[in-house]
A and B are shown apart, each in its own frame.
Chain A
Amino acid sequence: MNLLLRSAAALTLTVIAGCGQPYSPAPAEHIAGPHGGGDIFESSPDTAPYQTVSYDILRSWLVDTLHMPQSVAVSGACDPVIDADACPRQAPVQYLDANKGALGIPVFTDEPDGTQAPSLMTSGGFKVWIVAASSACGIAAATPSTMNELFPAAQGGLDSYDTFYLLLLGRSPTAAEIAELDTLQGAYSDDVRKAAAVCTTVLASLENLAAN
């Protein structure tokens, strides 16, 4: 059910083709891209019990759930000579888009019914997602309206993870999970970071990323 919801959300998106980061000598500084992933010609057993959710779903979480803009012009902390594609701190969606190729095996299908098979995320893809999601969580946590959607003040704000868990995982957190996230929060200095840490942990969890 959870997957169906995610897939439906994905269909509402316009798929933006990922692109590499072509050689440009102009910037004074450069950033390494993610690494990892085999290629489609490598033989692999077909016994893996899980795949991972698609790029469209990942993007939907950033755009529809965390309300990240799809395009921003970077400035300030992201030096102007750095492209938005390489600045997840301010442009997590563009960073995700630019590194789409690192996420995993592309899924090519024209099926209109949303039943396309999910891909298997590579290690480079996990990196991209963790970096993009954590930065998006940081931005979202600093935005009061979004923060109130994810962790409603009426339910105790950051004292309750129910809404966020239901939103992402379709269930409430267990007592053990609550204790773990409470401990995690305690390691950060301010509420924005506390919220971003919880948000990142759930978004990057295998439960959230696995599809079957």
Chain B
Amino acid sequence: MATPPSKLTRRNFLHRAGLLVTAVGISGTVHSGLMDQITKKAVRKWGTDALAQTPSSVKYLVEICYRLGAQVNAMFPSAGHRTPIGSQNPDLNIYSSPNNIIPLNRDGRDTYFASFTAGQGIDRLRTVLATTPGLETVGVAASEAIGLQTGQHTSNFASRAPTGVAVCPAVLHAGSYAPARPVQGIAWGIGIDNGTVDNQRSAAYPSLDRVSSRGQFQSLFRELPMFFTRDELRLIVGSFDNQGSLMAGQEGALHRIDSMWRSAQDPRTGVFNDNDTIVANSIGGRNQSTLSLAEQLDETYTTIQPNFGATIDNPNGGAALGQALASAAAAFSLGASSTFMVALDMGDWHTDIQAFDTAASKQGQMNIVHGNALAGLWQSAAALPDPDGDGTIADHLLVKITSEFTRTALRQQNGADNGDGGTAGVVWMGKRVKNGSFGNIGGDGTITGFDSASGNLAGGPLRTEMQAYRTTLKMMGADSMAGAFGVGSAMPLDAVIK
């Protein structure tokens, strides 16, 4: 019995080589309709399955870790921050006016997005999530009502490693839960594991590859050492366009030798034609043999770069989050990596007191720079196909934002100080995430927790960093590790998990 041939593999190859994006043929001058084109191309080329929205496994994880007390409410405020100014405690530690705190309702709950500049930053993220096809079911769960477990000023956040044996999410994902990739996990930033943010792990889990710039990231991918240069090999196998088709007049000696055999010597002439899988696979393989992953990463990055706005290179927090997330999107789509952890040192916030909605403030810059990066990531993820042919990157992406601690709900020193905080800030984003602002900071500065199961406001002790950690495990499909990591007694926050 004949062995069944595999399905059209050139299609898979094109998928996996990330040529969907490069095929658009637009360089750095990409216009605003780029994603429309990509979306249309995806549908035309692979059907609507390319835009499937089924929330499935978390194949791709991005962890953004803020050191030194970044104000999460500069991006995702609580409902109480929308209290009319006249009814607010004048020391309420919020930098957005109520009208510029805009909800996005999904899953029956509102998540609040702070807008410092219309169309920029977190405001743009909200628009991207609300209007981009393929992102309709992405939830954003935000909370500043998570009690600190070990206090503040630590590089080893309890919400990422609440016990001595716990492994932080990025390391765990890269080491055990992500599909195999050439460079599995990236740790992007300054001082990682050396003072800024630690990635706690055990010997069973390899450390992530550390980089602090796009150049360093690109250098992780080297060319496959082979005898011929790519240009020399092209003389044999041919040159290909961005669609993966042989270029007329540059087919290569192999193609011409094959053609001679097929037309004159092949005993099955007339049966063995251009549509046969063996022919398509041969052409696909020839194309692959001349492709460079590093070049593909560069091309994809260039193509999606406009999604990340003018602040893509802004090093707010010590590293350019836009570059990191654009690199992540490109790497995910090309099957080059599965996991990104970004460490940002946000510095001192104590005396950064400015009027509402000041875009130039520390809070405003964090909102705009990091919001643009997040918007770019999700916009790109919605259009970039999963390299394994399973929907889009967005279908399998989890973004987790953790602030070491947030600032006090009410300013201190008679309103002159963003005090070191009493809670942790956590945000999850993805298709396995239930939308909502969980817990609350009231207009009077009262912090209220929430019920782990229902998500409804609940008095009493706040939810814990250990619970937040276990929640991330559960979202990743790693809840079975809770016992081994010493967090089995902490109930996950099921209210934020779909």
Chain A residues within CB distance 8 Å of chain B: 20-26, 28-40, 42-44, 46, 48-52, 77-79, 82, 86-90, 104-105, 107, 117-131, 134-135, 137-139, 174, 176-177, 180-181, 183-184, 187-188, 193, 196-197, 200-202, 204-207, 209-210, 212
Contact = CB atoms under 8 A, between A and B. Distances in A.
A32 B335 contact: yes
Given A82-B225, A89-B225, A23 B184 contact: yes
A197 B236 CA distance: 7
Interface string B272-294: 10001111111111111100010
B213 to A, nearest CB: 15
A124 B285 contact: yes
B182 A50 contact: no
A201 B236 contact: yes
B278 A121 contact: yes
B288 to A, nearest CB: 4
Given A21-B180, A48-B278, A135 B271 contact: no
A48 B277 contact: yes
B2 interface: yes
Interface in B410-460: none
A50 B257 contact: no
Interface of B: 1-10, 12-13, 16-17, 174-175, 180-185, 206-209, 219-228, 232-233, 235-237, 253-254, 256-258, 260-262, 264-268, 271-272, 276-289, 293, 334-336, 387
Nearest to A77: B225
A21, A126, A210 — which one has the most chain B CB atoms within 10 A of its CB? A126
A210 B12 contact: no
Contact of A130 (B13, B237, B268): B237
Nearest to B267: A212
B5 A177 contact: no
Contacts of A137: 227
A88 B261 contact: no
B288 A204 contact: no
Contact of A125 (B223, B253, B279, B281): B281
A72 to B, nearest CB: 13
28 contacts: A30-B221, A31-B224, A32-B336, A33-B182, A34-B288, A36-B16, A36-B281, A38-B8, A44-B277, A46-B2, A46-B4, A48-B276, A90-B225, A120-B277, A122-B9, A127-B286, A131-B224, A131-B289, A134-B226, A138-B227, A174-B265, A177-B260, A184-B235, A188-B235, A193-B232, A204-B254, A206-B279, A212-B267
A201 B226 contact: no
B4 A29 contact: no
Nearest to B265: A207
Given A120-B5, A125-B285, A205-B261, A35 B12 contact: yes
A107 B3 contact: yes
Nearest to B288: A127
Given A35-B13, A130-B286, 9 more contacts: A23-B174, A23-B175, A25-B208, A31-B293, A40-B4, A43-B4, A120-B278, A126-B284, A207-B266
Contacts of A121: 278, 281, 285
Contact of B288 (A88, A107, A126, A181): A126
Contact of A180 (B7, B206, B256): B256
Contacts of B293: 31-32
B219 A29 contact: yes
Contacts of B209: 25
A123 B9 contact: yes
A48 B279 CA distance: 11
Contacts of A176: 260
Contact of B17 (A35, A52, A82, A200): A35
A21 B227 CA distance: 21
A212 B219 CA distance: 44
A134 B232 CA distance: 11
Contacts of A105: 3-6
A89 B224 CA distance: 8
Contacts of A32: 182, 221, 224, 293, 334-336
A149 B214 CA distance: 49
Given A23-B174, A122-B9, A134-B226, A35 B258 contact: no
A31 B181 CA distance: 10
Contact of B253 (A31, A35, A197): A197
Contact of A207 (B233, B258, B286): B258
Contact of A50 (B8, B265, B272): B272
Most B CB atoms within 10 A — which of A29, A40, A123, A181? A123
A42 B7 contact: yes
Contacts of A46: 2, 4-5
B289 to A, nearest CB: 4
Contacts of A23: 174-175, 180-181, 184, 206
B253 A181 contact: yes
Contact of B3 (A20, A36, A117): A117
A21 to B, nearest CB: 7
